[in-house]
Amino acid sequence: MCMDYKTELKNFFAERCLFDEPMAKHTTYRTGGNAEVFVLPKTREDWNFVLKLGKTAQVPVRVLGFGSNILVGSRGIKGIVCSTELMNNVLCEGETIRAEAGAPLDKACELSANAGLGGMEKLSGIPGSIGGAVYMNAGAFGQETFDCLDYFDVIDWEGRPATLLKQDLKYAYRHVEGIENFIVLSAAFTLQKADFKTLVQTRNQVLHKRMEKQPLDYPSAGSVFKRPEGDYASRLIDDTGLRGLSVGGAKVSEKHAGFIINFNQATPEDIKALMAQVQQKVQAKHGVKLELEQILWGEFN
Ligand SMILES: Cc1cc2nc3c(=O)[nH]c(=O)nc-3n(C[C@H](O)[C@H](O)[C@H](O)COP(=O)(O)OP(=O)(O)OC[C@H]3O[C@@H](n4cnc5c(N)ncnc54)[C@H](O)[C@@H]3O)c2cc1C
């Protein structure tokens, strides 16, 4: 008799395979429905197994980093969510930082600053994984992940490995062309020797500014919208008088109008409805269509 795909995954991944796993536990919005199946691959063999099975069983497979840019609908996610959480090695070799996809980006920033290597110190405090940072070309304070990225190792959805060089890719603000065709396994960043004290100071300043300007005491997923050409989403939202606007337990942060916070057990639908209201009101006042930076997963009520 043919085993169903869930049993096969459980047999293979054992305690690294969970069913009906609440995504509120794995996303920084701290809300969202369940993932039907949640697995934690560590090796290429693990990935090959899950990708092959997903294909044979015809169920969708998704890759999750730290869930710091994702909103999951209340009705959850069909199929398999693969978390990179257990692939978390990061090390410094000469002027290169090598990190697995599930290593915290901030860990790489800390390591590089402490090693007197400049180029990623302004990315400090971004709460994503290396894989998520590469996927989004995450950035802050004028620095972007792709500035110091050298190459990254991937597999495609068939499990075929490749190494992608930065110079072969087209990338822009929060966008990397074709990245959705790959799963990032690890990345290498080439940095420049710089003064250790200055780097650590810059890192601390950046972390301090984040604490000062961002509503870090509430769950959120950072800036909701991309920066529109020549302006800032937060300025437009503020100017439209939307600070503090709320739907259910979701609110436009009073501290930083570019953030939506989960201030009181917000449902994903509260957050989604608030995103739409902000878009509609900003468009009506300024004629600018704010584009979502955050990613919606699964089914919403
Ligand atoms: C308080 C706060 C502040 C923030 N500040 C910033 C900021 O200053 N700048 C900024 O750019 N962002 C910021 N963010 C947003 C977020 O941290 C970044 O977008 C981050 O890069 C997302 O990484 P992640 O690991 O959480 O990815 P996730 O949210 O888990 O996933 C995001 C996307 O990346 C894909 N992905 C993740 N890992 C992989 C992988 N290994 N291979 C292939 N695809 C993958 C996912 O499928 C998904 O499509 C902030 C968020 C919060 C909560």
The rounded distance, in Å, linking the Cα atoms of 139 and 126 is 8
Average pLDDT over residues 224-238: 97
In the predicted structure, residue 182 carries a pLDDT above the cut 70? yes
Average pLDDT over residues 218-233: 97
Q: What is the pLDDT of residue 2?
A: 64
Q: What is the pLDDT of residue 224?
A: 98
Are the C-beta atoms of residues 157 and 51 closer than 8 Å to each other?
A: yes
Residue 132 CA to ligand 1 center (angstroms) comes to 4
Average pLDDT over residues 30-43: 98
15-24 core/surface letters (b: 16 or more CB in 10 A; e: else): ebbbeebbbb
What angle in degrees, to the nearest 10, is found between the helix axes of 196-213 and 105-114?
A: 150
Query: Is 149 touching ligand 1 by the criterion CB < 6 Å?
Result: no
The rounded distance, in Å, linking the Cα atoms of 76 and 21 is 9
What angle in degrees, to the nearest 10, is found between the helix axes of 44-57 and 5-13?
A: 170
SS3 (DSSP) at 13 = helix
Q: What is the pLDDT of residue 3?
A: 78
Q: What is the pLDDT of residue 244?
A: 98
DSSP 221-259: -SBSBPPPTTS-HHHHHHHTT-TT-EETTEEE-SS-TTB
Cα 55 → chain centroid: 25
Q: Whose CA is nearest to atom 4 of ligand 1?
A: 222
Query: Is 41 touching ligand 1 by the criterion CB < 6 Å?
Result: no
In the predicted structure, residue 96 carries a pLDDT above the cut 60? yes
Burial of residue 277, with CB atoms counted within 10 A of its CB: 0-12 exposed, 13-18 middle, 19 or more buried: middle
Roughly how many angstroms between the first and final C-alpha of the chain, as a whole number? 37
Q: Whose CA is nearest to atom 27 of ligand 1?
A: 132
Query: Is 145 touching ligand 1 by the criterion CB < 6 Å?
Result: no
| % of the chain surpassing 70 pLDDT | 99
pLDDT tens per residue, range 236-269:
999 999 999 999 999 999 999 999 999 999 999 9
Query: What letter represents residue 184's amino acid?
Result: V
Within 8 A by CB and 6+ apart from 7, the residues are none
Q: Which domains does the chain have, with CATH numbers?
A: 5-83 (3.30.43.10), 90-213 (3.30.465.10), 233-297 (3.90.78.10)
For the chain, the average pLDDT equals: 97
Are the C-beta atoms of residues 91 and 97 closer than 8 Å to each other?
A: yes
pLDDT tens per residue, range 149-169:
999 999 999 999 999 999 999
Residue 272 CA to ligand 1 center (angstroms) comes to 18
